[in-house]
Each structure stands twice: as C-alpha cells, then as structure tokens.
Amino acid sequence: MLAALTAFAITSAARLLTGARALWLGCTAQPVQRLYYANHSSHGDFVLLWASLPPELRRSTRPVAGADYWQRDGLRRYLINQVFNGVLIDRERGSAHSNPLQPMLDALDNGDSLILFPEGTRNLEEGLLPFKSGLYHLAQARPHIELIPVWIANLNRVMPKGRALPLPLLCTLSFGTPLQRLEDESKEAFLERARNALLAMAPEEA
Amino acid sequence: MDHNTLLLFAGIGALLLLASAIGYFLKWRSGDTPNPVIDNLNARINAWWVMVLVIGAAFVFGDIGVILLFYFVSFYALREFMTLTPTRRSDYPALVAAFYFALPMQYLLIAVDWYGLFAIFIPVYLFLLLPILASLGGDTTRFLERASKVQWGLMIAVYCISAVPALLTLDIPGYAGRNLLLIAWLIIVVQLSDVLQYVCGKLFGKHQIAPHLSPSKTLEGFLGGVSLACLAGALLYWITPFNFWQAALMALTVNLLGFAGGLVMSAIKRDRGVKDWGHMIEGHGGMLDRLDSVCFAAPIFFHFVRYWWVPPLV
C-alpha cells in the first residue's frame, strides 16, 4: 500500500516536473514482453521511462539497476525493491563464478519486461558511450524478447550531476522500432547496430 | 460573481456552442474522409471549452484564484521557453533562481499589491542577478547568449504574463471591485483577435504577410480579424472603465501588439526549428502558442490604463 502510494507520488512528480511525453514512433504501447534499452544521463532516467509507460505495462516492467548504488542505505533499498520492483545486478562482479546476467534472465523467464541502460554508467556528455555486452548476451539467450530503443531527451538538464534540486524542463521519450534479428552476427556488430538504432531516436539539434 | 460577469460567461458559452455546432456540421459534411483542417478546428474548439472552464473556475475564487491561475500559466510558459533554449550545466543556478525564486516572488508581489517592486523586480534586480549567478560557474562559452536567454524567458513568460493579474492592483475611480472584468475584456479581445484572424485567414486568406516567419498569417486574416476584434472590444465597453471610442482604441492597441507578439514568438520558434512551443493544449500547441499575443499586449495595456485611468497619488 505504502509502496504503491510512493510509486504514485514519484511518477506524478516526475510527470509534473518534466511533462514526460512518450512518443511511440516505432512501436505501440502493448503488453508484449520487451527489453527497453535507453541512454543514461541521470538517476531519474528509469523513473521517467517507467512513469511514461501506461499503468498496465508499468506493473510488469522492471528497471535494471546497479546493486552497489541501490543497496547503500535503507531508503534506497526500499525504493528499488518495494517501489520500483527493480532487478539488481552486481556491476563489480564480486563472485567470479556466478553469471551477473542471471537476475535479468530470471526476470525475463518470469514474464517481466526490463528497462536497461547498456552504457553501464551515466554519460554526462552528448551522444552515447560504447555499449556493455550484457544486451548482446540477453538477446542471444532470450531471442523472443523485443528489443526497443528509447531515447530520453533533456533529462540531463532537469537533473544535472551533483545537484539536488531538479529543474522543471520538458522531456520527451522516443520509443523506436524493435531491433531486428540477424543470423550469425558478431557481438561487436550487434552492439554497434543497437547503439546506432538508439542514436537514431535522438531528436536533431536545430 | 456579479451580474455582468455571469452575462459575459453566458455570452462566451453561447459563442462556443455555436462554434462547436459549426465544427460538428463541418465534420458531418466531410463524411468519413479525415480532414486535418477540420479535425484541428474541432480540437481547438474543445480546448477552448476547457480553457474557458478553467478561467471561469479561477474567477469564482476571485483575485487570488486569478493570480494563482496566472502563476501556473507563467510556470508552464517558462518551462516551454527554457526547454527550447539550450543552456549549459553552469546555468543551473540562474535557472533555479528563475523557477524557484523570481516566478513565485513576482506573483507574491502582485498579491500584496506592491507596485513599486513588482514593476522593476525582474527588469532591474533579476536582470543583474541572473548573469552574476551564471558567471559564478566560470563557464564563458556563449556567455552573453546564455545569460540573455534566461533573462528573455523570464521577461516574456513571467513579467509580461504577470501584467494580466497585475490589472487587479489598479485603483480606477468609479470601477472599484470590478477589475476582474478588465482582465476578462483584455483576454477576450486579444484571443478573439487571434481566433478571427485564423478564421478570416482560412476563409479569405490570399496574400501572406510574413511568409518566412509565419506562413499562416495573411493580410486578409489580419485586416478582418483585427477590425472585427476591435469592434467586439468597443461593443464590450460597458464592462470596462472606457467609453465606446476609448475601448475601440484600446482594442486596436492590444490587437496590433498581439499580432506583433505572434510574429516575434514565431521568429524564435523558426530559429529553434520547431512549429510549436509545446503540446499541452490539444490543437493549439503549447501554452506560449496560445499566449504569444497576450505576452506583448498585457504589459502595455497595464501601463496605458495606469497612466490614463489611475489618478496619481498626491
């Protein structure tokens, strides 16, 4: 109950502050199992992406987040586990023998959709950092999942790094077409293609 | 609400009913074929219903309701302006000051009726404070351009728009307690001018006035819209402190300023490569698309009324 209220308050605040306008350019908001992958410039990214989804999709869509950041204190643990129902992954690979992708594979096998930031860390410059290989391995292991590029525009201006108070500026989220499957594609080629598909969703600077 | 206000809103309601009926008829006549012009017309009319209801609700709450309404209008307008004008990370303190200090302060000063400060707060104090804050970041890239953008946004979206509720602070002899009607008159005349320019342009428009700035503005639309809106403003003189001819001249002034405001704000949009400021009002675009004419008309209207109708304190 409290978690649902908190989620409502956070998504409402995010929408009020940023408008959170979702442009479904290459696909529609349907309850299909998907992996949304987006550019990452702020801690608010997954909140905004999550808030811009229709409520029925939001319930089954879980953000993938770094365990090191979200397990630092009680409040963060509560938010990521109870409110956002996040999938925590070990970015530092403490135990070498376990598969760091396993929590994501479990969530997908459970029927959930995921929100993933394949740059792996927040990018404070323009454009995109090179992608980590997790996206490739997930796509290989679960080929039936739709991969949807989502460009989040302007949120880096709303919440600049190291600033506490967010600015009210309008943000748009552009949802692209599902990434096509190609037979026998190398990891590098796949990641490059996925990255270009996401870059193509960025609005052009006038 | 007094008798005149109710009469006014009843008149607007009747006008909107007529517009909706026309829109419905045009849609019915065009059949199943989708027609973007008619669909946009109906979206605009529907949005007008919502806008009139919101303004009516604010009027029910009196002065405070109207001041709060325009506070939110300014907030949405400023958000649209700042979204479209790129700033850099070191502009953060200036933007925080604009959204969280200047905006509430301006409306607070109007609510407490402090003319001496709300008239100069943004053009003097914030004009100097914002570049000071921007310089603290130590980033000199396009400094003057960035500082000007924040100042311009504040002037247009906050200072100019706040001139509408500032009309409540004027003590006009023989007009006490009726200032809300002056606001209603200004909004009706300026918006009616926009609507009639659009309608006359769509019906009779041939010669473009400013093809590079705003291709939809035509000479026929301009002449027809402005003269009809001036006539309407003059006929509504009974809700203002003006006589018939004064009301006609005032209407001409705000309509010409409103037209110019539309051109200037269009130039900014074209320069940024967009068609609309935002998307919050279905069929119209953003808050600034609907208010560009009011931004330019309101401050001059405020000062004209203050200069000619408010006797100086001795």
Q: Where are the domains of chain B?
A: 1-60, 70-169, 178-314
Mean pLDDT across chain B, nearest whole number? 94
A61-66 and A172-175 strand pairing:
unpaired
Q: Give chain B's length.
A: 314
Inter-residue contact A163 to A108 (CB < 8 Å): no
Q: What is the pLDDT of residues B57-87, one digit of tens each?
A: 999 999 999 999 999 999 999 999 999 988 8
Which of A137-146, B28-37, B246-255 tops mean pLDDT?
Answer: B246-255
Mean pLDDT across chain A, nearest whole number? 89
Which residues from chain B sit within 8 angstroms of residue A205, using beta carbons? Answer: 86
**Percent residues over pLDDT 70 in chain B:** 99
Mean pLDDT of A10-24: 90
Which contacts qualify for A68-71: CB closer than 8 Å, 24 or more apart?
A: A68/A92
A141 located within any domain: yes
A206 located within any domain: no
For residue B66, what pLDDT is reported? 97
Give yes or no for residue B96 having a pLDDT over 80.
yes
Per the structure block, which two tokens stand in for A149? Answer: 């590029």
For residue A22, what pLDDT is reported? 92
Which residue is listed with tokens 């956002």? A84
A19 located within any domain: yes
Per the structure block, which two tokens stand in for B247? Answer: 């009301």
**B171 or B90: whose pLDDT is higher?**
B171
For residue A52, what pLDDT is reported? 92
d(CA A38, CA A175) in angstroms, rounded, equals 9
Give yes or no for residue A204 having a pLDDT over 80.
no
Which residues from chain A sit within 8 angstroms of residue B95, using beta carbons? Answer: 167
With CB atoms and an 8 Å threshold, state whether A168 touches B92. no
Inter-residue contact B172 to B241 (CB < 8 Å): yes
For residue A124, what pLDDT is reported? 81
Which of A95-109, B34-48, B222-236, B263-277 tops mean pLDDT?
Answer: B222-236
**Percent residues over pLDDT 90 in chain B:** 82
With CB atoms and an 8 Å threshold, state whether B272 touches A160. no
With CB atoms and an 8 Å threshold, state whether A19 touches B100. no
Inter-residue contact B300 to B257 (CB < 8 Å): yes
Give yes or no for residue A80 having a pLDDT over 60.
yes
B173 touches chain A (CB under 8 A): no
Per the structure block, which two tokens stand in for B282? Answer: 């279905």
For residue A142, what pLDDT is reported? 92
Give yes or no for residue A90 having a pLDDT over 50.
yes
> Using 50, 70 and 90 to split pLDDT, how confident is the model at B97?
very high
With CB atoms and an 8 Å threshold, state whether A19 touches B280. yes
Mean pLDDT of B145-170: 96
A205 located within any domain: no
Give yes or no for residue A97 having a pLDDT over 90.
no
Residues of B numbered 47-86 whose beta carbons fall under 8 angstroms of chain A's beta carbons: which are they? 75, 79-80, 82-83, 86
Number of domains in chain A: 1
> How many angstroms separate the Cα of A70 from the Cα of each of A144, A155, B179?
30, 20, 55
Residues 6+ apart with CB under 8 A from B286: B76, B77, B80, B276, B277, B278, B279, B280
Which residue is listed with tokens 């190609």? A182
Give yes or no for residue A195 having a pLDDT over 60.
yes
Give yes or no for residue B311 having a pLDDT over 70.
yes
For residue A95, what pLDDT is reported? 60
> Using 50, 70 and 90 to split pLDDT, how confident is the model at A163?
confident
Which residues from chain B sit within 8 angstroms of residue A163, using beta carbons? Answer: 92
What ipTM was assigned to the predicted interfaces of this complex? 0.85
What CATH number has the domain bearing residue A106? Answer: 3.40.1130.10
Mean pLDDT of A163-185: 91
B89 touches chain A (CB under 8 A): yes
User: Following DSSP, what letter does each residue of A14-40 receive, concatenated?
Assistant: HHHHH--EEEESSS------EEEEE--
For residue A206, what pLDDT is reported? 45
A108 located within any domain: yes
- Angle among Cα B117, B118, B120 to the nearest 5 degrees reads 70
B312 touches chain A (CB under 8 A): no
Establish how many alpha carbons lie within 13 A of residue A200's alpha carbon, considering only the half-sphere containing its beta carbon: 15
> Using 50, 70 and 90 to split pLDDT, how confident is the model at A138?
very high
Closest approach of chain A CAs to the CA of B7, in angstroms? 35
Closest approach of chain B CAs to the CA of A141, in angstroms? 40
> Using 50, 70 and 90 to split pLDDT, how confident is the model at B1?
low
d(CA B189, CA B35) in angstroms, rounded, equals 29
User: Following DSSP, what letter does each residue of B184-213 receive, concatenated?
Assistant: HHHHHHHHHHHHHHHHHHHHH--SBS-TTT
Range of the domain at A148: 2-199
* Identity of the amino acid at B244: F
Mean pLDDT of A186-194: 94
Mean pLDDT of B91-119: 96
Mean pLDDT of B156-160: 98
B280 touches chain A (CB under 8 A): yes
